[in-house]
Structure 1
Amino acid sequence: MTFTVLTCEFMHESNTFSRYRTGLPQFQADTLLYGDEAIRARRNANTELAGFMDVADVAGWNVVHAISAHAVPGGQVTKAAYDHVAGVILDAARSNRSRLDGVLLGLHGSMVPEFCQDGEGYLLGLLRAELGDDIPIAATLDLHAMVSQDMVRHAQILVSYKTYPHVDMRETGAHAARILDRAMKGEVAPRTVRAHVPMLDEANSGRTDIPETLALYDRAREAESRGLLAVSVNAAFTGADVFCVGPTVLATYDSRDPGAETAARQVAEELAGAIWQRRAKKRNVFIEIDEAAAEARFWRADKPLVIADYADNPGAGSYGDSTALLEGLLAAGVDGAVFAPMVDPQAAQELHRHTQGETVTVTIGGKGDPAFGGGPLTVTGVLRRLSDGAYVGDGPILGGLSHSFGPTAVIDVDGIEVLVVSEAQQMIDLQQLRAFGIEPTARRVLVLKSMQHFRAAFEPIAGKVVVCDAGALATPRAERRAYVRAPRPLWPLDKDFERPVSRSEAV
């Protein structure tokens, strides 16, 4: 039998503390592709859709792909943008309803539109209302998903990444697709249990390059090898002030297996309990600006020093235009360095009025919110490169995918090459420098606006990695952000409480 499956990708991690909004232009700047065009662009890369198609091709599915929509993390998604993308998905479901056997969605799990706190749960509810209860729905999620009860209620199958840096998107897509295929064949009847942990996020944000957090995901894989269909550990996202904030553990099981629900509940509770017990055991050591600048000034090893500008990570919805760290590096006389990116479309436009080789004075950064990471900084330097911002990734995360920073310039300010870009992106691929005339292995110091994803491509070329909290919007000091919708008590905003036991839920 040939199954007909509706597929889509609709992904955004929404920072509710951002002053900005994420509209359709932000999706267009990253990924907004329809139907077969999306399949052609994303089929041979590390994407959820590629994983879907890996299984679909072997199984002989008839795939109806509605849309692939992805925007860089930022402020809440506008109603207009959400309605457009969701509308394409719902129209495809409606027009193909009579022949659909299943639905397979690539979601993030931390999308917050302007009109509700749970973008994925809302979308899944709309799909379920349109298609009824009989059609199985599977969804992939980012490791940093905040999973609501509605998400678990409306999708029988949920599978999250198991790596951070995220390098298993395609694998995760294929995992979800295989379970859906078995469900459509009647081999399994999937259901999911959910255990929630009252924390902002897992102590190390789900980092799988450290043993204590990797152990959570190893245990999840072990449970899968013993018969559970999928076990997902979601570290959550501190940038969203919503009712469903916090880490969750999901266990998808075959409801026809007499012992499977009990096993699912047990592993979900075990892993949720482990997250809670390790809540104070953070691995990252956050250094101050002066310490980072001093280390950069005297670094003389064969490989570059990498400084992660953690708090100004555009991949967590920060503005990407914090100037405090750059100002500290300049004041310390650091040279042979790269600072990337400085997200400032106005400055990029101003630099594009000049020619390469000119000495230019320009004011950069500090426009998002000077209270987080510093105000505008006026600098004078030599304009080394002007570009339209286009590049093709070749690393573990972006390999084979075309992206653009928009109008981009490189200005050399006293020995620090500043990559000034128009579109917000975090640093996760060497081509984000090489495409603009900067060879990262030939620089002493690389200052990268990223929390963790930079490690996939940049750590192998680094002599040392340090992490700096320069006070921007994604600062690890959560008390600087005003959480008003998140349920309390909540670690680490509140300390004197214990997590109740037996919190796993089945729907």
Structure 2
Amino acid sequence: MTKRVLLGQFMHETNTFCRRLTDESAFRGFYCHEGDAVLDALAGTQNEVAGFADVARAEGWNLVTPVATFATPGGPVTHRAWAAFGERILTAARQDGPFDAVLLSLHGAMVLEDGRDGDARLVRELRAIIGAGVPLVVTLDLHANLAPGMADDADIILSYKTFPHVDMRDTGRRAAEALRLVLSKAPAQAGTVVRKPAMISLPEGGRTDREPMMGLMARAQELTDAGRGILDVSLNAGFTFSDVPEIGPSVSVVHLGAQQVAEQIADELCAAMWAARDADQEEVLTPRQAAGIAATHPAGRGIRPLVLADISDNPGDGAYADSTALLAALLQGGGNDILFGAMHDPEAVAAARAAGRGTDVALSLGGKADPDFGGGPLHVKAHVEHLGDGRFVGGGPMWKGVAQSAGASALLRIGGVRVLVTSHATQALDLEIFRSNGIDPLAMRVVALKSTQHFRAAYAPVSMRICLVDGGGLASPRLERLKYKRIPRPIHPLDN
């Protein structure tokens, strides 16, 4: 008999220190697909939904798809956004059932404007609707702040294995394969064990191209053994910029009737996370140091660009993406042939559009959200080189094939620096965000990005050198600037 499976995606990584709330428009502005359009838009892309669909197609499952949506990280998710997307999934569960199973693509670090864990709420309320006997499978981002209680309501919880996240489709496929196995056996046997050390995050956000995460991931893979009933072992690095009780790294172990073995594995890896809490991290430069390196980077045919990544103003961490410290340093002493982006400044975009392409315009650029985090506005005279609608399709390993939007955009030239300014806060992790706005990053001597790690998937293969920069933005690794009030204490690294 054909299995009917409810499939939903509602993803947000919430920076509770960000003043900019995440409303319904933020989800619809990045990508939002509803009903039959979900599979039409996302099948075949690098997205969990595509992985779900791969297995569903092979198994002949009937997928019911109320909504699939994602918003750039930012402040808490509003009640209006929850009503539009969370409630839509719950309504489908009530009205379109019964279902044989549920597949959910979540982030694991969504916080609602009332301070509640949005992911845990959705899973808990879904369980109340579908009942105890229906398998409920959840995929999470590697940066989930996983609440252990979610395992009381979800049978299977597993996460990405890479950062940059280049395995999103594979994660969806692994989750659906686990569901297939559960449906062929006894659903009541499936379970997930969760453990959390007393840490805010793993070193460097758990980047999987360096130790200690490489070793931790290798050990997790060794311990995944279907023969012993262990279907998946996932390591979550946690999300630093959420002031919530469930903050921090976690281990989740999915098992089929192997509770004791799963607990032993979770305990071992939790201890290994704790032992790695003070691992060495890559050097982070000041804006002035970064500009000095930029000034000396060579130009010429065949020479690859220098990439500067301002990890502190990464909109992928919920920062405002409008800090100006690094841009000011590059304008003052970084030299020519520099590309900078993406700067989030809807007012500057509107001014550029009013002036028109090919004109010069006086602007107050950036620094408007909170000048205490990365500097105030720069008053500049800019030449408008290109105006666009901000739409592009990901071409790199992380978002390949996924259509998204940075909103109305403008490419400005200020002296020797070209600045991409957008209406939506968008992490420039893909080359196509620039190419769709009339400029090829590979033709530039220096490319300065507001990104922490995801950019490496597309830029590491084509760059000569990568340097990390702390421009003082909201996502700076200097956590002493943030006032945590709700996290458990004591916790590393804030307490002894």
Q: Percent identity?
A: 43
2:348/2:421 contact within 8 Å kept: yes
Distance in 1 between the 2:279 and 2:287 partners? 23
Q: Give the SS at the match of 2:354.
A: coil
**1:204 touches 1:213 (CA, 8 Å); kept in 2?**
no
Moved more, 261-270 or 103-112: 261-270
Aligned to 1:253: 255
Which whole-Å CA distance do the structure 2 matches of 1:95 and 1:221 have between them?
40
Is the contact made by 2:407 and 2:422 (CA closer than 8 Å) also made in structure 1? yes
| Separation of aligned partners in 1, 2:334 and 2:14 | 37
1:186 Cα deviation after fit: 2.0
Aligned partner of 1:244 in structure 2 is: 246
Whichever residue aligns with residue 36 of structure 1, its letter is: D
Q: Which amino acid aligns with 2:199?
A: M
Q: In structure 2, what residue type is equivalent to 1:356?
A: R
Aligned length: 490
Deviation at 1:116, TM superposition (A): 3.4
Report the AA paired with residue 481 of structure 2.
R
Question: Partner of 1:278 in structure 2?
Answer: 276
Mean alpha-carbon deviation: is it higher for 435-444 or for 343-352?
435-444
Partner of residue 501, structure 1: none
Equivalence for 1:290: 288
Q: Partners of 2:156 and 2:115 in 1: how far apart?
A: 23
Give secondary structure in 2 for the equivalent of 1:320: coil
Matches within 5 A, 1:22-171: 22-98=22-98, 100-171=99-170
Bigger drift between 88-97 and 481-490 goes to 88-97
Counterpart of 1:433? 434
Distance 2:116 2:492 in 1: 20
Instruction: Write the letter of the residue equivalent to 1:378.
Output: H
Report the TM-score when normalising by structure 1: 0.95
Shift in Å at residue 321 of structure 1? 0.3
Check whether the contact 2:31–2:405 (CA below 8 A) recurs between aligned residues.
no
Is the 1:320–1:449 contact (alpha carbons within 8 Å) kept by the matching residues of 2?
Answer: yes
Q: How do 1:6-17 and structure 2 match up within 5 A?
A: 6-17=6-17
Q: Confirm whether residue 200 of structure 1 aligns to residue 208 of structure 2.
A: no
Aligned to 2:298: 300
- Alignment check: 8 A CA contact 1:125 1:150 kept: no
Alignment partner of 2:204: what SS?
coil
1:438-457 paired onto structure 2 within 5 Å: 438-457=439-458
**Residue 395 (structure 1) aligns with:** 396
What SS does the aligned partner of 2:206 have? coil
Q: Aligned partners of 2:38, 2:469: CA distance in 1, in Å?
A: 37
Question: Which amino acid in 1 is paired with 2:329?
Answer: G
SS at the partner of 1:428? coil
Deviations 1:315-368 (CA, angstroms, capped at 9, x unpaired): 000000000111111111521101101100011001001122212211111111
What's the counterpart of residue 502 of structure 1?
none
2:265 pairs with 259, 262, 267, which one? 267
3-state SS of the aligned residue for 1:371? coil
Please give the per-residue CA displacement for 1:283-333, whole angstroms capped at 9, x wherever unaligned.
221111111010001111611110001100000000000001111111115
1:361 alignment partner in structure 2: 362
Give the counterpart letter for 1:453 in structure 2. H
Task: Report the more deviating stretch, 315-324 or 325-334.
Answer: 325-334
1:482 matches 2:483: yes
3-state SS of 1:97 partner? coil
**Paired residue secondary structure (2:224):** helix
Measure how far apart 1:185 and its partner are: 2.2
Counterpart among 234, 242, 262 of residue 232 in structure 1 = 234
Kindly provide the amino acid, as one letter, of the partner of residue 18 in structure 1.
C
Name the SS of the counterpart of 1:115 in structure 2: coil
Write out aligned runs for 1:461-476 (5 A): 461-476=462-477
- State the superposition RMSD in angstroms: 1.2
- How far apart are the structure 1 equivalents of 2:201 and 2:171? 21
Native 8 Å contact 1:204 1:282 kept in 2 = no
Distance 1:114 1:408 in 2: 29
CA separation in 2, counterparts of 1:50 and 1:219?
28
User: C-alpha separation between the residues in 2 aligned to 1:422 and 1:96?
Assistant: 37
Amino acid at match of 2:408: P
Q: CA deviation at 1:197?
A: 1.1
How many Å separate the matches in 2 of 1:452 and 1:202?
14
CA contact (8 A) 2:148 2:195 kept: no
Secondary structure of the corresponding residue to residue 113 of structure 2: coil
In 2: Cα distance, 1:478 partner to 1:182 partner: 43
1-structure distance, mates of 2:211, 2:276: 13
213-222 or 366-375: bigger deviation: 213-222
Q: CA deviation at 1:83?
A: 2.0
SS in 2 for 1:436: coil
| Runs of 4+ residues deviating >4 angstroms | none
1:262 offset after TM fit, Å?
A: 2.2
Q: Is the Cα–Cα contact under 8 Å of residues 294 and 334 in structure 2 kept in the other structure? A: no
Q: Is 1:338–2:336 an aligned residue pair?
A: no
Please tell me the residue identity of whatever aligns with 2:428.
M
User: Counterpart amino acid of 1:342?
Assistant: M
Q: Equivalents in 1 of 2:284, 2:466: separation in Å?
A: 11
In structure 1, how many angstroms separate the alpha carbons of the residues matched to 2:461 and 2:334?
Answer: 27
CA drift at 1:432: 1.1
- SS state of the match for residue 259, structure 2? helix
8 Å Cα contact 2:30/2:406 also seen in 1: no
Do the aligned residues in 2 keep the contact of 1:117 with 1:243 (CA within 8 Å)?
no
> Whole-Å Cα distance in 1 between the matches of residues 148 and 241 of structure 2?
20
Q: What is aligned with 1:411?
A: 412
Q: Deviations over 1:238-275 (max 9, x none)?
A: 110000001000101111xxxx2222112211111111
* Aligned partners of 2:8 and 2:65 also within 8 Å: yes
Tell me the secondary structure at the aligned position of residue 90 of structure 2. Answer: helix
Deviates more, 1:260-269 or 1:287-296: 260-269
Does structure 2 retain, via aligned residues, the 8 Å contact 1:382–1:411?
yes
- The whole-number CA distance in structure 2 between the counterparts of 1:348 and 1:223 is 51
State the alpha-carbon separation in 2 of the partners of residues 422 and 216 from structure 1.
Answer: 39
Q: What amino acid is aligned across from residue 433 of structure 2 in structure 1?
A: Q
Structure 1 CA distance for aligned equivalents of residues 103 and 23 of structure 2? 24
Instruction: Answer yes or no: is 1:371 the counterpart of 2:372.
Output: yes
Tell me if structure 1 keeps the 8 A contact 2:182–2:190. Answer: yes
* 1:149 shift after superposition: 2.2
